Amino acid sequence: MKRVSIISVFICIGMAIFMFFSSQMAIANEPIGPSYDAIWEAQPAKDSSLVNIQDRIYQSFVQSFIQQQEQPISEIITELAVLDKEKNQKLIRYWMSYAEYYHSIFHLQNDNKEAAKKACMSSLGRLEKLKGKNSEDYALLAMVQSFAIQFVSPMKAPFISSKVKKYAEKAISIDDQNPRAYYVLGSNDYYTPEQYGGGKKVVEYLSKAIDLPEQAVSNPYLPSWGKQEAYEMIVKFFIKKEQWEEAKQYFQQGVEAYPENYQLNKLASKLVGK
């Protein structure tokens, strides 16, 4: 029985390695689509349904969390699904995936791991199916894929982490001024255990995300996430390393830029007296 078990393990590892390299080749060879900025300039949307959509999604998530009810976040997902049927636009599917990502976080915070996994995999599947992904698509795909690591077996986690890195690097190869891609790389390195090489480039990636503008051109319809999250994570990293001066420096910069950021402000108590 032990021999059979060992053989089964090697077969699983072999299949995982094969799938990993196959996916890497697919990422490298996939056709690149135009940026959402370019699409917007060529064919601007005429309805206001997506104005400030990123903030609306996040506020819906916050309301769900405060009320301990999934209705606010699920309602905005339904709204986007209806809009997608009417308009059939890739940008709408991008925001549906972004909303489902937060839907997953909501369920996880309420200890419903099965529902969290379902929402996360729905977000991931939709992004993977997008044809002609651009830099923003790859950056969001990398973030959702990173979040999905917790739903796979420990054996698969290193392969998924490498896939996250590949997606984020693809986003940068398309647009090296995309702060969201650098944030995801920093986040992936932050959560990668040190024995697997993690923690070495956290500051490099996150400081790059912080230095870049949220958007090349201000547009309330398009993504601007990543910079606030980078501030929060770099402060957490320096707190973890007990590098208090650096932690306080980035905290101060972060709260000046984003005074209403709840997660960042929560870190203030960890810096008192340091």
Q: Which two tokens stand for residue 155?
A: 């054996």
Does the pLDDT of residue 75 top 70, yes or no? yes
Tell me what pLDDT residue 47 has.
63
Q: Please, what sign has the CA dihedral across residues 139, 43, 56, 77?
A: negative
Does the pLDDT of residue 10 top 90, yes or no? no
- Mean pLDDT for the chain overall: 88
% of the chain at pLDDT higher than 70 = 88
Does the pLDDT of residue 107 top 70, yes or no? yes
Tell me what pLDDT residue 27 has.
63
Tell me what pLDDT residue 126 has.
97
Tell me what pLDDT residue 68 has.
94
- Across the range 133-140, mean pLDDT stands at 98
For residue 25, what is the DSSP state? Answer: H
Tell me what pLDDT residue 182 has.
98
Rounded CA-CA distance 217/222 in Å is 10
Please answer whether residues 180 and 171 qualify as being in contact, where contact means their C-beta atoms are separated by less than 8 angstroms: yes
On the 0-12 / 13-18 / 19+ scale of CB atoms within 10 A, 114 is exposed
pLDDT tens-place string over residues 63-73: 999 999 999 99
Tell me what pLDDT residue 258 has.
95
Torsion, Cα of 157, 163, 165, 170 (10° steps): -170
pTM for the model: 0.87
Rounded CA-CA distance 78/105 in Å is 17
CA nearest neighbour of 80 among 106, 103, 114, 110: 103
% of the chain at pLDDT higher than 90 = 71
- The CA-CA-CA angle for residues 52, 101, 189, to 5°, reads 105
Residue with tokens 């398009």: 222
Rounded CA-CA distance 49/86 in Å is 12
- Across the range 1-24, mean pLDDT stands at 46
pLDDT tens-place string over residues 21-42: 444 555 656 789 889 988 877 7
pLDDT tens-place string over residues 212-258: 999 988 999 999 999 999 999 999 999 999 999 999 999 999 999 99
Provide the residue count of the chain. 274
